[in-house]
Amino acid sequence: MKILRKITVAASALTLMASLAHADSTVRFWYHFDNADNPMNELVAEFEKQNPGIKVEAENIPWNSYYDNLYTAIIGGNAPDAAMVKMFAQPRLVEMGALEPIGARIDAWDGKAGLEDNLLNLTRAADGETYYLPVQYVVLYLYHRQDMLDELGLKVPATCDEFRDVAKALTRDTNGDGSPDVYGFGFRGGKGGHDHWASLTLSHEGVSLENGLTSEAGIAGTQYVVDLFRKDGVFPPSAPNDGFQEILGAFKAGKTAMTIHHIGSANGIVEVLGDKVSAAPVPECGGGRWTSFGDESTAVLSSASDKDAAWKWISFLSSPVNNARFNEATGQLPVVKSDAESWSLHPQRFVKATVDSLPFAHLLPNVSQTSDFVNTVWPVNMQRALTGEITAKEMNEKIAELYAK
């Protein structure tokens, strides 16, 4: 009897010790906010109030060295328990065995149904596992001068055929000097403009960067873009070299009537144009729609000392109200439907255009070739195609060649 009592006491002591260890858990969390005046301290305090015994050590790591620091910490055995992560880093983190699968936790989580549609599909890994929980995002859409459309009795273009007609009508000589001073569309032919081209080309059925680019549909998509410039004249003459600042400046100045970007530009544009500007999803071209998805998620690291506590923290950040507060510091959109509906940091018409675009949002292939595509292969060959140095077919063949390596 005494032996049994001793065993019972010992077991109770072990149970108590285990519960105390769990109750005293610390979650080390890495994030990157450019804005030093951010709400992280308040979010941590609220979480710790709701979860007594779990402490969060949140460290703001400079963006320029964020992933170098993260990879080094993982290799050195000093990784955080949870961290903000982007999709481009996922293949390497999976290869390193650094991520904890959280699909089962998300399925059992009350907050899953409240997330915006398609986000979990977009952030699922190539191996079929879910390692990321979305925390913020942007999607590219079509900015348009509603006042110019109204003046000419035009509707927002919903298809590529309508887009061409509307862009041609919006390209005008308003000062009578014999040359257009307003162009229908501000096309970004310099680095970063692949998203403009992709919306008008990769939307075609059976066409992607890895397949179908040299098909009839793929070539037709690029030819459409080239024709808008060389035949229809709806891009400014500077389009082959224009970058982000040029397309944004031209749109604000009234030199272009439409362009493509995301909600990060909305407030600056509205400050200049007010209610004259609105937004809509990119047009349907070749049987489909394609737009670019900008991602940010959180993840639990496989080395986390208390994975349950780490999950509680990241799911807290993607829960109603908390997620809105988190995104007040970033200018991106909350991933929670209810937070998006009450979002006030951007005019609701731009929030709607973003949410409406999510069902056909895509990421570029998460392979090494994509870096070369973005930085050299696309801008060099797009500029050559726009200036007539090469054909649309030759441009697509160059891109297909890259992804065939």
130 assigned to some structural domain: yes
Whether residues 185 and 287 fall in one domain: yes
Contact 71, 63 (CB under 8 A): no
315 assigned to some structural domain: yes
Whether residues 54 and 101 fall in one domain: yes
Q: Are strands 291-300 and 361-362 parallel, antiparallel or unpaired?
A: parallel
pLDDT, residue 23, reads 55
pLDDT, residue 64, reads 86
User: In the chain, how many domains are there?
Assistant: 2
Region 335-351 average pLDDT: 96
Whether residues 383 and 251 fall in one domain: yes
Give how far Cα 382 sits from Cα of 191, 329, 365, Å. Answer: 10, 36, 19
17 assigned to some structural domain: yes
Mapping DSSP to helix (H, G, I), strand (E, B) and coil, where does residue 347 land?
coil
Whether residues 341 and 281 fall in one domain: no
> Mean pLDDT over all residues of the chain?
93
pLDDT, residue 157, reads 98
Q: Is a pLDDT exceeding 50 seen at residue 338?
A: yes
Whether residues 170 and 263 fall in one domain: yes
Q: Is a pLDDT exceeding 80 seen at residue 20?
A: no
CATH number reported for the structural domain that contains residue 237 in this entry: 3.40.190.10
Contact 292, 195 (CB under 8 A): yes
Whether residues 159 and 82 fall in one domain: no
List, as one string, the DSSP characters of 123-155: T--TTS----EEEEEEE-EEEEEHHHHHHHT--
59-116 pLDDT, tens per residue? 999 988 999 999 999 999 999 999 999 998 999 999 999 999 999 999 999 999 999 9
Whether residues 164 and 239 fall in one domain: yes
Whether residues 281 and 318 fall in one domain: no
* Contacting residues for 290 by C-beta, under 8 A, at least 6 apart: 198, 199, 201, 202, 203, 282, 360, 362
pLDDT, residue 366, reads 84
What does the block give as tokens for 243? 């970058």
pLDDT, residue 168, reads 98
Q: Is a pLDDT exceeding 70 seen at residue 155?
A: yes
253 assigned to some structural domain: yes
pLDDT category at 10 given cuts 50, 70, 90 is very low
User: What are the strands, taking DSSP E only, across 226-283?
Assistant: 258-261, 277-280
pTM of the full predicted structure? 0.86
pLDDT, residue 17, reads 34
pLDDT category at 354 given cuts 50, 70, 90 is very high
Whether residues 206 and 282 fall in one domain: yes
Whether residues 46 and 161 fall in one domain: no
pLDDT, residue 43, reads 97
Whether residues 315 and 387 fall in one domain: no
Region 180-202 average pLDDT: 97
219 assigned to some structural domain: yes
Region 378-398 average pLDDT: 98
pLDDT, residue 8, reads 39
Q: Is a pLDDT exceeding 50 seen at residue 128?
A: yes
350 assigned to some structural domain: no
**354: nearest Cα among 184, 116, 154:** 116
Contact 325, 111 (CB under 8 A): no
Region 127-152 average pLDDT: 97
Provide the domain limits for residue 301: 2-136+294-345
Q: Which amino acid is at 61?
A: I
List, as one string, the DSSP characters of 15-55: HHHHHHHHHT-EEEEEE--S-SS-SHHHHHHHHHHHSTT-E
353 assigned to some structural domain: no
H/E stretch holding 84 reads: strand 82-85
319 assigned to some structural domain: yes
Q: Is a pLDDT exceeding 90 seen at residue 21?
A: no
Whether residues 160 and 98 fall in one domain: no
